[in-house]
Structure 1
């Protein structure tokens, strides 16, 4: 036995032996923290393998620094690296437990939410087992202090350090390649910090967030208040006047924003094998009190849904690459629609059956002024309730009733559905319409998930009618972005009954529905050209909120003197006159025009439209990357104090109960304290199975 301990002691005292011990312990505690302290959503064998792999590249690189030095210094450097990593893991464990997200340098540097929100409850958050993250460091320090380990005093062979560094870089390249294979555009789109940690590691995330913060800080530092003057000059020149027939018509009403995931305009009245795909949405679209827009375009970039939300609620475009919600949502100053309504007595809430950290919603919504965010933590969940991107719509919408009925009125509530999401898979028990037969597997399931979404929408509208909310609300429904991308032209042509689709046809397929319903409104189809950037000013005018000094890049869709140039994120545009797509120009019938044969008038129109598109996108980027709204506040608007919002389940329920006591205007209070949940009817088979059990 003595011989065994002696040999073990010799091995650990050897510089290489000690290095491998520290690396192993570094890897082990990181992996155990992944499994026990975070909810990373590992869904397949590759993700599990990457979870095992990702601590090693950074561990090799950082702990390997010690191999460049000799004597005790080498050993203590490796211990210190492990201590720093343990501290980072510990801090993230506490932050994640409270906010379901990871600490970024942007949050640490530019937000007081960490100290304000976390510091007050730190003793409640800490678990005794959290300190086990430091156990290996304590043991190593004791072994060094009591000379159980005798440092190797020989001259270091720095080539070993160099080899270790090279192996670390190669291993990271393999890690990144495998991660990109399982989740493409992982770093450019940055859906969720959980994804970065799951695929590349919590230590990589630290460096990645530091890089992002540096880039943002340098741009932000160079911005100044004079930049706002240029923005205001552009905005004021392009601001349209409200339509007096509609201004303030919906003042004081509840507002629903119903988010139709991946829902394209061509689905309206579309039939598959003679069967209506979306009969409920079709009826809503054609209702005598619904204003529908048939030339309304999605304008998203890489941020997809997050870009749609950004435009909808801030009248700013998404970024040329990535998502502004994930890159800037935590730190920037915004003047968003929820904040305007909050400051006018509205309760503001967003509901989504996925994790709150997706698209950084749990931080961005605070910047936008949302009082409540009901994410997946607020809903009863079972394995068959989910479809990969959150709760199935029928189940999610039924459960949302218990929060809608508690919101003080008037309220602003955004409902985000997910089932009609790529790759359009739906379990057999929920399929109630046949797939199309284009031969493209990605495309053919689209009608099934769209039909399911339509059924869920119909059930939701029926509940609003039965509960009385339908008559007291303005209901806005919109499609966030395309469902079938331009990469499927043959399948799209088959769906539309065409031989082929042109570039212009594909641009017209970027149309998504936009509908505004209220019993006060005269319905009909409005043919004006517009897009998601125009939603906020449209709703503000309908609600009678003065916006003649706000910074918004869209304009009221109901205005009679509006610019109808619709800018796409890539610099292309469409309009009722001319459209420019790439290097090609088209008339409003989709006919390609030879640019050499353009009339002088057409050339002038084209130039003005291109200038408007370029300046709109450029101004938006400057506002976002320079955080320019910190320099300017409109009249009758107060800067948002993010520290007052907490979305953790216990905090959200507590705030909701307090608001109900103070205002006594919620649906359930108006109903004498009786719940309206039993009025919500759904045919979701999963819930029927639960009832049978």
Structure 2
């Protein structure tokens, strides 16, 4: 045994074993993969082995002691990739994909957020590396200087390939068409492993990049037929009622609906937003079953959806990877149909999320980024300008816009890791011991106070009464990695279903000339906002490729697809492959034909939206005879 352990083959066996055990431990400790049965648990344990044999087996082709150097280099690289996924998952509940790696220009703004995601116990994840390096140094003198016979490394690689085939076969038994029909990366990692997911993602990225080259106008036919069939006729009481009115769109960063009416230690966290919901004189309609539909792009996905009624991509952000696509976005529609001026206001720099490029494709006239604001240290925290100075300094720019205008105000203080200065905190933190969750309520209160200040300024300027004003949450702020703290705060266990229900985000809208409708219980999502606004302005949404339907229409489609293929309806929901009765929360053991048909419908909708973006299909579509394709060269941002 001693002779074997001090040999090249022995070292290879030890490093494979370390890789196998460590990966499985990280699966169990760091990732919530939704393991539901013994086969899934076995595959979770089994899948690191084939990856270890294939990736590490390559090193056995090296001569003599170089094989050890190769082994340690590959092992360290794979560990670094896995740890990067650990940190990414702690906030995003998701895995890194190749498209997300193209978004590294954003990382300069993420320093505090990333630091907050690193845990002290992460030190344990390097102990094996230290021991293996020491083991190699102590044993390499006993290694043969000769190269292993070629059949040995080939046998190792073949063994890895055979084990992967077995792994995939067992996975297909439990989840048929795993690699053909999935929008959820958790499934791939659970069944095939994190490293095989990286290969899968590379193949997917390659395939998506070639789709634009191969696309033609024929590919648009099915998309157009689907969106036209889903179209909901406008409510005649609302159609055109806001024509020519200013539109002020307020983006509530990381704001989830559970904050509304929530009391922390007996004190309302968001008293001003609560007043918009409950005070009839404010004339707001609040949709309390409104969900975000974002994926890896988070804020950028929300912007894409809220201006285009298209889903974000399953990997990465369309803002970055599809920034040169043709779009027929709401700003361009409003400009061409009713002469609107379009502007975005944001206290971060214009290159973040590639906004300074993709906004041109949307037809946005003005982009007031950080260069327009006072970015002194006392006014900046986390991702950029604090919300109170942001709104205050935005008012002169807003008042100077030619009317009618479409103004998009993007807040950012209420963003992970929810940092706030002592002088800005007017409510104490929660006391769960989970720092980012505890601070979440303090930055939510700060955002609430910022909104009240902004509304007062709008009223003083005369813009308030003559504007459509709506507020929306862009995505979740508290990920599933904080379920313990959330269970404590909510007073109930955060189950899979509860977690899906917590993806509700606010949507409140005030329409001049229309009395507020109070609380509307219609199930809806971000996809529905564009057709709703178009109909309020008297513009036919039917002319455009959009996957949402008018919120005020009697024909509104009240099912809410999520990007991973799950969905919510008033009667039943599908979460992580399990059907639930939405009202009783009970599992539905035998799904009905209606449920399965809706599942197929959701998958079709996601696939068709992906075709539009991957194939850049809107370049082949002319909405109406008056439409002029947006020319990005006509737009220039900066002072």
TM-score for both structures, normalised by structure 2: 0.70
SS at match of 1:488: helix
Task: Answer whether contact 2:571 2:583 (CA < 8 A) is retained.
Answer: no
How far has the Cα of 1:384 moved from its partner? Answer: 2.2
Q: Secondary structure at the match of 1:548?
A: helix
Distance in structure 2 (CA, Å) of the matches to 1:528 and 1:391: 35
Distance in 1 (CA, whole Å) between partners of 2:302 and 2:494 is 25
Match of 2:213 in 1: 221
Q: 1:578 aligns with which of 558, 572, 577?
A: 572
Q: Does 1:494 align with 2:488?
A: yes
Q: 1:413 aligns with which of 407, 419, 425?
A: 407
Please, which of 503, 515, 520 is the counterpart of residue 510 of structure 1?
503
Question: Which one of the candidate residues 429, 439, 450 is aligned to 2:433?
Answer: 439
Is 1:628 the counterpart of 2:617? The answer is yes
Q: Provide Cα deviations, 1:134-162, integer angstroms capped at 9, x if missing partner.
A: xxxxxxxxxxxxxxxxxxxxxxxxxxxx9
- Counterpart among 493, 515, 519 of residue 522 in structure 1: 515
| Pairing 1:354–2:348 present | yes
1:557 counterpart (546, 551, 557):
551
- Are residues 1:333 and 2:326 paired? yes
User: Once the two structures are superposed, what CA deviation does each residue of 1:244-301 show, in whole Å capped at 9, x if it has no partner?
Assistant: 1111111110001100011111111111111111111111223431111011001111
Q: Which of 1 and 2 has greater Rg?
A: 1
Counterpart Cα distance in 1 of 2:587 and 2:81: 45
Equivalent of residue 281 in structure 1, options 273, 280, 300:
273
Contact map agreement 1:504 1:590 (CA 8 A) in 2: no
Distance 1:238 1:211, change over 3 A: closer
For 2:385 and 2:301, the matched residues in 1 are separated by 21
Contact map agreement 1:191 1:359 (CA 8 A) in 2? no
1:241-640 equivalent positions in 2, closer than 5 A: 241-288=233-280, 289-329=283-323, 331-343=324-336, 344-498=338-492, 500-523=493-516, 524-596=518-590, 598=591, 603-635=592-624, 636-640=626-630
Change (3 A) 1:274 1:321: same
CA pair 438-179 structure 1, distance change in 2 beyond 3 A: closer
Q: SS at the partner of 1:262?
A: coil
| C-alpha deviation, 1:178, in angstroms | 8.6
Question: Deviation at 1:490?
Answer: 2.1
1:194 aligns with 2:105: yes
CA deviation string 1:540-597 (max 9, x = no partner): 111111222210000001111122110001100010121111221111214223423x
Q: CA deviation at 1:497?
A: 2.3
Give yes or no for contact 1:585–1:593 (8 Å, CA) kept in 2.
yes
1:488 deviation in Å? 1.8
- Distance (Å, rounded) in 2 between the aligned partners of 1:273 and 1:254: 39
Give the alignment's TM-score, normalised by structure 1.
0.64
Task: Quote the Cα distance in structure 1 between the aligned partners of 2:515 and 2:627.
Answer: 31
Tell me the residue number matched to 1:679: none
SS at 1:592's partner residue?
coil
Q: Distance in 2 between matches of 1:423 and 1:394?
A: 18
Q: Deviations over 1:596-626 (max 9, x none)?
A: 3x5xxxx132023112211110110000000
Kept in 1: contact 2:331–2:342 (CA 8 A): yes
Superposed CA deviations along residues 411-439 of structure 1, whole A, max 9, x for unmatched, are 00000000110111211111110111222
Q: Does the CA-based 8 Å contact 1:180-1:186 persist in structure 2? A: no
- Cα distance in 2 for partners of 1:255, 1:557 equals 17
* Structure 1 unaligned residues grouped into runs of 5+: 1-161, 200-209, 651-693
Q: CA deviation at 1:305?
A: 0.7
* C-alpha distance in structure 2 between counterparts of 1:586 and 1:607, whole Å: 13
**Contact 1:190–1:196 at 8 Å: present in 2 too?**
no
Check whether the contact 1:298–1:511 (CA below 8 A) recurs between aligned residues: yes
- Write the deviation string for residues 629-670 of structure 1: whole angstroms up to 9, x where unpaired: 0111101322101100001x23xxxxxxxxxxxxxxxxxxxx
Per the TM alignment, residue 213 of structure 1 is displaced from its structure 2 partner at its CA by 9.9
> Cα gap change, 1:459/1:380 in structure 2, threshold over 3 Å: closer, same or farther?
same
Instruction: Give structure 2 stretches of 5+ with no counterpart.
Output: 1-66, 90-95, 111-201
Quote the offset at 1:514 in angstroms.
0.2
CA distance in 2, matches of 1:439, 1:473: 43
